[in-house]
Structure 1
């Protein structure tokens, strides 16, 4: 098992991948614990910005948000400019006022599909949260309550289609496994990646 502070130090040592930013993706099934892990890792990084893909997706575009992410976030950051994106309000079913996301040495992008094909060229590392899809979805349903059961029915079908067409797991540098206390970092399915060797090497 590895300490998040040590992992954070190693993330900072990776080469910039999106302009001056080391962009780290946290992907995995809905309900697998991505947001909790990303927030804890961000804290270990001294308050690194976290872009939640829930802010980029919408009811009508659960996974068809690639162009919006590229135009509003990835493009500007890759040029060393602040990103300006309008987060989606899932209750009001509309996009809200724009938010500024300035370039930072390390930034996290968290959500289902964060490691998709269109995003990977901008990533310094792709982290996959380990977890069975059915068990993860059940945790998500329990978390959100029966009022969102219909939404979850549509979501799980859409997620299955997404990962069938554009899987992230085979390209993961690191697989993150939740433990009773902390997390275990395991070499992912993309062993040729430099990030994989840096982040899972047992030597400091």
Structure 2
């Protein structure tokens, strides 16, 4: 992973030590969170990704389902006009759980080679989904958003890896509530069943992949005590 050698300084302050938090098996909790202005932090992340003459800077926003990845991604995109988002949900659509690493390698490899992307995952053809995953040439940054975005298979293809750390109970409640409201996994009972199935696969994957051990930055996906309006909590990675 290429990291900008001289990232800009910006204001940060320590937050109170957090009480007990439930996380992925063997995932260490952050012990010393710091608070910063969210937009300043977004600028810091993009400076770490760096400017490249022939391709976009690539930032992976990784974390378990319901962790808060989409919120963080929106913040990063708003800090860089023209930034594009590569959604893992599009890459792994109708693929077996976490058996799609080769597809993400293909997509990010194409971004490195061509500086743009027009990629149709094979399951799209099989299931009649039209279109493709497109990143136009000239995009300054691509934010790869989704569970597994920073998986070990793409360690050499991303510039900055962010792990979003969120209490398991908070993430589960968010995910079930969101999917129930959208009706994407059936009724409330079916959604709960889906999420428990999803969580089992997710835990197994993360236990083997251990993305927090490679993350440049850790971001709290939930508000922490002591945060002011417009701030987020973060820490330097990795976590071991």
TM-score, structure 1 length as denominator?
A: 0.80
Paired position in structure 1 for 2:102: 67
1:129 and 2:155 matched: no
Q: How far apart are the structure 2 equivalents of 1:69 and 1:6?
A: 29
Paired position in structure 2 for 1:174: 217
1:18-62 CA-partner distances (Å, limit 9, x unpaired):
962211111111001111111122112224111110111134422
1:83 and 2:132 matched: no
> What SS class does the counterpart of residue 55 from structure 2 fall into?
coil
Greater CA drift, 56-65 or 8-17 = 8-17
1:160 and 2:203 matched: yes
Provide the alpha-carbon RMSD of the alignment: 2.8
> What SS class does the counterpart of residue 36 from structure 2 fall into?
coil
Paired position in structure 2 for 1:43: 78
* Residues 17/110 of structure 1: CA separation in 2 closer, same or farther (3 Å cut): farther
1:144 is displaced (CA, Å) by 1.0
Greater CA drift, 150-159 or 180-189 = 180-189
Q: How far apart are the structure 1 equivalents of 2:71 and 2:121?
A: 19
* Residues 37/12 of structure 1: CA separation in 2 closer, same or farther (3 Å cut): closer
1:173 is displaced (CA, Å) by 1.0
1:186 and 2:235 matched: yes
* Residues 53/127 of structure 1: CA separation in 2 closer, same or farther (3 Å cut): same
Q: How far apart are the structure 2 equivalents of 1:55 and 1:47?
A: 20
Give the ranges of 4+ consecutive aligned residues of structure 1 lying more than 4 Å apart after TM superposition.
16-19, 87-90
User: Greater Rg, structure 1 or structure 2?
Assistant: 2
1:160 is displaced (CA, Å) by 0.9
Indicate conservation of the 8 Å contact 2:62/2:148, yes or no: yes
1:102 is displaced (CA, Å) by 2.4
Q: How far apart are the structure 1 equivalents of 2:198 and 2:74?
A: 23
* Residues 88/47 of structure 1: CA separation in 2 closer, same or farther (3 Å cut): farther
1:2 and 2:19 matched: no
1:119-173 CA-partner distances (Å, limit 9, x unpaired):
1211111111121234312220122111423321221111011101111111111
1:105 and 2:140 matched: yes
* Residues 190/138 of structure 1: CA separation in 2 closer, same or farther (3 Å cut): closer
